[in-house]
Structure 1
Amino acid sequence: MELLYNNSTNYFPIYYVKGKVINANIQTYGGSEKMTYGIGLGYYNEKGIFRGTGYNRVDLNSTMNVTPVNRLNVDLRLNASLSNRDRTSGDGTLQSASPVETVPGDPQELSSLLPGEGSVAWNAVLDALKGTKEKNRGVRLRTNFRLGYEPIDGLNISTSLAADYSIDRRNYFQPSYMSDDDYSKSVGETGINLMVLNENLVSYNRTFKEEHMVNFVAGFSYQYDQTEYNGGSAQNAPSDKIYYAPAGMPDLGIQESNGTKETIALKHYQSDMQEKTLLSYFARLEYGFRDKYLVSFSLRRDGSSTFGEDNRWGTFPSVAAGWTFSEESFVKDNLSWLSFGKIRASWGRSGMHFSQNYLALGIMNVGATPYRGQATIEPEWVRGLYNHDLSWEETDQYDFGLDLDLFNHRLGITLDYYYRYTDKLLTTIWLPGIHNGYSSQWRNAGAISNEGIEVMIKYDIFNREDLYWKISVNGARNWNRFEKSYDGKDFGGNIIGKPLNGIYALKTDGFINEQDEMKVFYNQQGVSNYLSNFYKGAFYKPGDYKFVDVNGDGTIGSGDAVYCGSALPIVSGGIVNEFRWKNFDLNMLMAYSLGRHIVNNLSKAVLTNGKYALMTDLNAISFWEKPGDHPDYPKLESDRMNSMWSYVDRDVEKVNYLKLKTLTVGYSFPKKWSRKAGIDELRVFVSGENLFTWTNYSGLDPETVDITSGFDLMSNYPLARKYTLGLTLKF
């Protein structure tokens, strides 16, 4: 080992740079008595903090509302956007692009033992990063046309047609020197998404005798969704300067492996088109009396093409009621400090249909082996078995709420409780035996529940013309539970009656100091052995974790894992401050999370496979060396058969954090100054995002850790600290 380079080479400057964001918008509005319009143009450009990443977008928005004749209204809205993204987390394979950027593997796997800037190793890493080219371009068009007619006062008949069309193109190039076969590769992909929605409504809204309010809506809608994909790749361009695949690229090539040569295809093509439809009928009736009492009833019936023919339709009712008790005379006469008070309650059933379009019908794949040169077709043996009984996931939700405004609306309190029970969860079930070749099937196989409390408190500390300060604090707590399965047994890593998002790990009781500490087990033949895992020869010895044999079977395995906490926080929320003094304004948002559990796998990943070496100080890590030690980890050795380096209960951290998410300071110039230049409003501001984090977490950033699993895999795109200088002009 060359000690000169040990822990001295920092590869972060290769990958991470200072980003830059430009965000500009201009909007104009106008019109007359019978027509109004609005036009807006926006530009956004962001250079990512990871070298080679970036995103820019141009938006054009327009709205127009026309009343050509009395009681007839025409509304048209259009949005067009053009976007470019420099890099995703995809690689050189088809359909590998990800809509969310993650950090590619290279910066995590580099070793600080290699020499630094200017060396061969340093330049090789930089050349590989620069050599890979990627462009992602997107065009999206959204429009909505609505025609409304009011034959009599309060009655409105309308029809609308909305469309959302997007096309995304990706080109990826990998130079030849990054391939084992010395072949360059170019990948081109196009994805098209189309959504068309037609809604037809009849509504009636009237108030009778200034006491009775009636609102009725009924209608039906039709939605059509289509996705299309076309992608191809080619290899072995005549030059690494040719990033695309022009005509004349070779069809076949030679691949060498273990001294043998094989002819391979250098061109590949893939395409797909899927569609689905949703038909809905719905109605809602609301009645209010004297702005004190409100009741609402609704019913909708939805039919989806994604389900089996026997269960395509679902019926979803709901009911709600509210009482504004602050309008009661006995409250007004006795509680003068109560400005507003309302109690709300509701129950509703909703449904969710497949995001995948043809599962209920059965899925076929192109066969792996052709027959006499012709492609074959075969079932998708893992999840392709049809199920004509598949139906909607159904969720019943109960909500209870309380709204209070006190002391002339200076103090506001909102309290909500909800309980949500989701039945007929869609999931795959492993089938017994191999009688028909299929290993699993999609079924409505489980139920889960969620309940929670949400609280928001806001207070106007100062509310004067020249001084205003308002603070809002909100918090939320959620509980969930796996309620039942199709056969009454635990499955999918979930235990009936236990919370979801739980972290389970092997339980430990310190470290083994002497072999005599270990219990001896005897099998039926009387042969003794120490506690071990599946491999009896790899029994636990001094320096190892002292695992607890929870189920008492003499081995350590998945059956000994214990619940170590939930990946969900006990409570999370935010704190908002809005402050204005004369022409200055300040807005501050802080976010907090308390009591969530995270497995920081960083150090063990470094010790077992060499990843993330740049993110860990090995000098700060201790290992067991002799009896009586209280180290971070067991004895460092190459024995990988005894579960020493899998995560255990000691690796689960209870994490809290408080973040200063945004801070904005602005100044509005006096209008008597700005109007001299023909400007109605002139404001300058400076803001910052992700400015500070206070946390007890040993990893990099707890906010980026998956909230459902709690495992920090160190692959998320980091949250950048941003500073913005802005100008707002209104004419």
Structure 2
Amino acid sequence: MKLKTLFLFTALLATTLLFAQEKYSLKGTVFTSDTEPLPGATVVVFGTSQAVSTDVDGNFAIEVTGTETLQITYLGQQTVVIILKGERQLSITMKDSSTDIDEVVVVGYGTQKKSSITGSVSKLENENLDEVTSSRVDKSLQGRIAGLQIQNITSEVGEAPQIRIRGLGSISASSNPLVVVDGFPIENGLEYINPSTIESIEVLKDASSTAIYGSRGANGVILVTTKEGSVAKTTYEFKSFFGVKQAYDDLDLLSTNQYTDMLRNERQLNENYIAGVEGRSPLAIDYTTREKGMREVARQSGEIDWQKEGQRNPATIKNYQLNVSGGKEGTTYFVSGQYIQDQGLLKDNFLDRINFQSRIKTKLSDKLTLDVNIRPSYSKRRRSSVSFTDFARTYGFLPVRHTEYTSALTGYPVGSYAHGRHFNNLTFDYVDEFGVQQNYTASLWGTNNNNPMSRLESDQRYQHDYRVLSNYALDWRITKNLRFRTSGGVNMDYSNYERFRSSEAEFTGQAIAEDNSTMQTRLLTENTLTYTYKKGDHDLEALGGITYQKTNFKYIGIYGTQFPSDYISTINAANLIDAQQTFTRKEQDNLLSFLGRINYAYKNRYLLSIAARADGSSVFGPENKYGFFPSVSAGWNVSEEDFWKNNVQFMNRFKVRTSFGVTGNNNIPNYSFTNLLYSNNYSLGGGAGSVTSGLGETGTVLGNPAISWEQTYEYDTGTDLGFFGNKLNVTVDYYYSVTDKLLLQQNVSYITGHNQFFNNIGKIQNKGIEAEISGNLKFGALTWKPSFNIAANQNKLVSLGGEAQFISQGERSEEYIARVGEQAIQFYGYKMTGVWQTAEELANNPHSSDDAVGGIRVADMNGDGIITADDRSTLGSPFPDSTWGFY
């Protein structure tokens, strides 16, 4: 009997256990903190790939056994974790992530809680960043971060904008910030990133934040963190964008008749108003033969609006993005692809780009985690052969292609390109007022002027860019408090530029071609050891590491001319290879660095951070290779004090912080510390220099073995405020920085055979204030996340190595000046005060020998009574005094 009872009990127990392991449908509803249903929240059975999403009413159903752990996530909400105990119905309320949570911010070589950061760091999460219709991420950042200035310097698509953080810190050396993507420094890194793959962007602005990057962080650092997969079911995300763009406005140009009328009126004024002659009768000034010819061609062939001829109206941009992510059992993946078609405003300018990314993160064991990232990309770009100003300067009488009239006039075939040089020494027939057949000869334009449409259509400039960025990171959790991280990667860039200008477009009548290729390989390895210690009210983190970077660069350029046909455009068909313009170049540079940082916090109230980095660079000579860049910063979380918590309810975050640090800059050409030679033509027997005269070696760089690091000393103080549970956040910073030992090109005597050489001279000062205001406001079902930022910067050139000023020229011969005591770079030229109205006015006021009635009147700045080059003055700066943004 006892045996039967025991058997029955065992059978019942086994049945109970069996039923306990059977799955059932767990139902639930997810709400916001305002009790609104939350659609699209992800519910995951932790540790498995089993996941569901809530419907439009916030409801979900998932198969469970009743003992699992659920994880509920949603963007902008705090993650909720629930350990099941047999429940069959759940009601889950999620809290907004802006309240009662300490945000994690990516910093150099790690992460920190926002409350413990003592430097100036701005964070931008990817909320609709990928919906901005731009082919580049950096242009999408315009106006989003205080102190980050992004300025377009060309209208060509695909071209990098100019990026500055807190003003201009250098003149000759590069002022571009360092871009770090997933811990890997990348040159032009923002160009090849699909915006939809970005998780967040942090901008490190002060020296205490950037000193850990040493010389590479002198101009600020932009940290990009890309998305990872999650342990859930595979998700697919596809986005497509289409946009149009057009020129904001065209220049209001004169027609041919208006232009020739203007020329005639100028002469009429000069003839009728001569100083010292009174009562002179007005003269009937006729058009010159050149002006008559222009008017006749325009009358016969029509007027051309060259600006509209060269433009697309509108140009389009298309952007396609596909992301696939998922994972299971300790391995996650994120795969992304992007295709962009971007048309420029000029008809010959376009960009096609393909970006791809594959990121796999896996736990090799409980202590080892491997993160592998591969980013190949390809772009094809047709670069514009003309500019907008080329069209604005072209006379309206000139047709794009020869008409029957201009063909008969010039002798060039109908339909061929009409060039300015075709309209020289032409004979025009006309019938005078007496009915007599007359003619005159005129030259309407210069001999070397090209038709801009011929260059746009027949000057083909294609650039192909191939890039592969692959990197890995291996994390080893040695103990609970000790972690070792080794990472490395290779960044390979290959760029090929091909140009062919047909004989129709070239004013010499000979086609020209060039083929240039650059190959750059950058290898990087970084090894860091991090120790964390927490006991009671004390938090300590210590970081030490060593990094090594090696860059190889190679350039090959070939230039040829005298092609037998415009249909054969490859270099091997050229009858003449220009030996002087055909050359190769190879360079290599190395950077060895040692770094360290200590962060300490007491009760999360009193904060201290000390960091330092030593960089050794091959850019400098043997005696000056190494530079040392330390920083120190401190902070006080006032809102963590009891007196604040007990008395101030509306402001939950109040932190003050201050920092001081030193960073360096070595962004000058390689081998500037030594003399360099290059091949050049020379003359024999008094003949003109040519290939037949021979090639010789001449100096190209005068080396300076004493040059060393450009150094920036920066002080920053700021405060971080959070109101109403961080629903409203305010950050304010004041900074003051001085860049000393500027790496500048210093003039040298001509007897050396050189014009300039690099030297450490000069000093620049920047100071300014920044403010960022952001909110996470909810009004019932409506959520509004406004963000406003404003920044003001004052830049001053303190010294210039004993010189008072330095004048340089830009691409189109415009002048810039660097003058001690003023902004480091300013426009330079004559200040216009009006137009000369009469000859009497001209005679009785300061003027130059070239001035005439109807011409521009400029100011006599030095008051000597005449207008000379000494009357040039500063005309403003290319850098704004303040910037702001709202989104």
After TM superposition, the score normalised by the length of structure 1 is: 0.67
In structure 2, the partner of 1:15 is: 310
**Within the alignment, does 1:109 sit opposite 2:420 as a pair?**
no
Question: Residues 19 and 494 (structure 1 numbering): CA distance in 2 closer, same or farther, change over 3 Å?
Answer: closer
Show the 5 A alignment for 1:395-410: 395-410=712-727
Contact 1:450 1:478 in 2 (8 A): yes
Show the 5 A alignment for 1:504-653: 504-506=828-830, 531-533=846-848, 538=849, 548-576=859-887
Alpha-carbon distance, 1:31 to partner: 2.5
Question: Residues 6 and 183 (structure 1 numbering): CA distance in 2 closer, same or farther, change over 3 Å?
Answer: closer
Q: Which runs of 5 or more structure 1 residues have no equivalent in the other structure?
A: 90-101, 253-263, 521-529, 577-731
- Select the residue among 795, 812, 823 that pairs with 1:499: 823
| Partners of 1:128 and 1:519 in 2: CA distance | 45
| Partners of 1:65 and 1:201 in 2: CA distance | 19
In structure 2, the partner of 1:524 is: none
Alpha-carbon distance, 1:570 to partner: 3.6
* Structure (1 or 2) with the larger CA radius of gyration: 2
Helix, strand or coil: the match of 1:359? coil
Helix, strand or coil: the match of 2:614? strand
Helix, strand or coil: the match of 1:376? strand
Question: Residues 531 and 233 (structure 1 numbering): CA distance in 2 closer, same or farther, change over 3 Å?
Answer: closer
- Select the residue among 772, 780, 797 that pairs with 1:456: 772
After TM superposition, the score normalised by the length of structure 2 is: 0.56
Helix, strand or coil: the match of 2:329? coil
- Residue type at the aligned position of 1:463: K
Contact 1:531 1:539 in 2 (8 A): no
Residues 478-512 of structure 1, C-alpha deviations (whole Å, 9 max, x = no match): 10101012226333433322223334554576677
Question: Residues 73 and 235 (structure 1 numbering): CA distance in 2 closer, same or farther, change over 3 Å?
Answer: same
Contact 1:234 1:267 in 2 (8 A): no
Contact 2:486 2:527 in 1 (8 A): yes
Q: Which runs of 5 or more structure 2 residues have no equivalent in the other structure?
A: 1-294, 407-414, 418-450, 685-691, 808-816
| Partners of 2:794 and 2:300 in 1: CA distance | 50
**Within the alignment, does 1:160 sit opposite 2:499 as a pair?**
no
Alpha-carbon distance, 1:379 to partner: 1.6
Question: Residues 552 and 110 (structure 1 numbering): CA distance in 2 closer, same or farther, change over 3 Å?
Answer: closer
Alpha-carbon distance, 1:243 to partner: 2.5
In structure 1, the partner of 2:473 is: 146
Contact 1:452 1:477 in 2 (8 A): yes
- Select the residue among 358, 363, 376 that pairs with 2:696: 376
In structure 1, the partner of 2:752 is: 436
Q: Which has the higher contact order (CA 8 A, sep 6+)?
A: 2
Show the 5 A alignment for 1:281-300: 281-300=594-613
Contact 2:454 2:505 in 1 (8 A): no
Show the 5 A alignment for 1:182-261: 182-209=509-536, 211-246=537-572, 249=573, 251-252=575-576
Residues 529-559 of structure 1, C-alpha deviations (whole Å, 9 max, x = no match): x8454xxxx2878777665544344433343
Question: Residues 191 and 324 (structure 1 numbering): CA distance in 2 closer, same or farther, change over 3 Å?
Answer: same
| Partners of 1:502 and 1:268 in 2: CA distance | 33
Contact 1:206 1:213 in 2 (8 A): yes
In structure 2, the partner of 1:270 is: 583
Show the 5 A alignment for 1:43-62: 43-62=339-358
In structure 2, the partner of 1:485 is: 800
Residues 446-477 of structure 1, C-alpha deviations (whole Å, 9 max, x = no match): 101111111122345x5045112232221111
Question: Residues 184 and 516 (structure 1 numbering): CA distance in 2 closer, same or farther, change over 3 Å?
Answer: closer
Contact 2:463 2:496 in 1 (8 A): yes
Helix, strand or coil: the match of 1:298? strand
| Partners of 2:309 and 2:783 in 1: CA distance | 47
Alpha-carbon distance, 1:265 to partner: 5.5
Residues 239-278 of structure 1, C-alpha deviations (whole Å, 9 max, x = no match): 32222234xx3545xxxxxxxxxxx869963211111111
Helix, strand or coil: the match of 1:491? strand
In structure 2, the partner of 1:79 is: 375
Contact 1:5 1:112 in 2 (8 A): no
- Select the residue among 27, 49, 53 that pairs with 2:323: 27
Residues 550-595 of structure 1, C-alpha deviations (whole Å, 9 max, x = no match): 434443334334445444334221111xxxxxxxxxxxxxxxxxxx
Helix, strand or coil: the match of 2:823? coil
Contact 2:460 2:500 in 1 (8 A): yes
- Select the residue among 500, 525, 536 that pairs with 1:173: 500
Residues 376-420 of structure 1, C-alpha deviations (whole Å, 9 max, x = no match): 32222xxx2211110011001111111112233333221111112
- Number of residues of Structure 1 aligned to a counterpart in Structure 2: 532
Task: Please identify, of 129-138 and 366-375, the stretch whose mean Cα deviation from structure 2 is larger.
Answer: 366-375
Contact 1:184 1:236 in 2 (8 A): yes
Alpha-carbon distance, 1:192 to partner: 0.7
- Select the residue among 441, 457, 463 that pairs with 1:130: 457
Contact 1:345 1:401 in 2 (8 A): yes
Residues 166-213 of structure 1, C-alpha deviations (whole Å, 9 max, x = no match): 11112212212223443323322211111111111111123222x211
In structure 2, the partner of 1:305 is: 618
Contact 1:251 1:265 in 2 (8 A): no
In structure 1, the partner of 2:676 is: 363
- Residue type at the aligned position of 1:11: W
Matched residues, percent identical?
27
In structure 1, the partner of 2:145 is: none
In structure 2, the partner of 1:472 is: 787
| Partners of 1:304 and 1:512 in 2: CA distance | 58
In structure 1, the partner of 2:423 is: none
Residues 10-44 of structure 1, C-alpha deviations (whole Å, 9 max, x = no match): 23343212323221122222222332222222211
Task: Please identify, of 496-505 and 398-407, the stretch whose mean Cα deviation from structure 2 is larger.
Answer: 496-505
Contact 1:251 1:267 in 2 (8 A): no
- Residue type at the aligned position of 1:44: I
Task: Please identify, of 264-273 and 389-398, the stretch whose mean Cα deviation from structure 2 is larger.
Answer: 264-273
| Partners of 2:454 and 2:820 in 1: CA distance | 53
| Partners of 2:465 and 2:562 in 1: CA distance | 28
Question: Residues 76 and 11 (structure 1 numbering): CA distance in 2 closer, same or farther, change over 3 Å?
Answer: same
**Higher helix content, 1 or 2:** 2
Contact 1:173 1:186 in 2 (8 A): yes
In structure 2, the partner of 1:707 is: none
| Partners of 1:196 and 1:551 in 2: CA distance | 56
**Higher strand content, 1 or 2:** 1
Residues 330-358 of structure 1, C-alpha deviations (whole Å, 9 max, x = no match): 11222211121111211111001033101
| Partners of 1:228 and 1:88 in 2: CA distance | 25
Residues 408-446 of structure 1, C-alpha deviations (whole Å, 9 max, x = no match): 3333221111112101111111124x4433332211111
| Partners of 1:511 and 1:12 in 2: CA distance | 27
- Residue type at the aligned position of 1:571: S
| Partners of 2:795 and 2:352 in 1: CA distance | 39
In structure 2, the partner of 1:324 is: 637
CA RMSD, Structure 1 to Structure 2 (Å): 3.1
In structure 1, the partner of 2:704 is: 387
In structure 2, the partner of 1:674 is: none
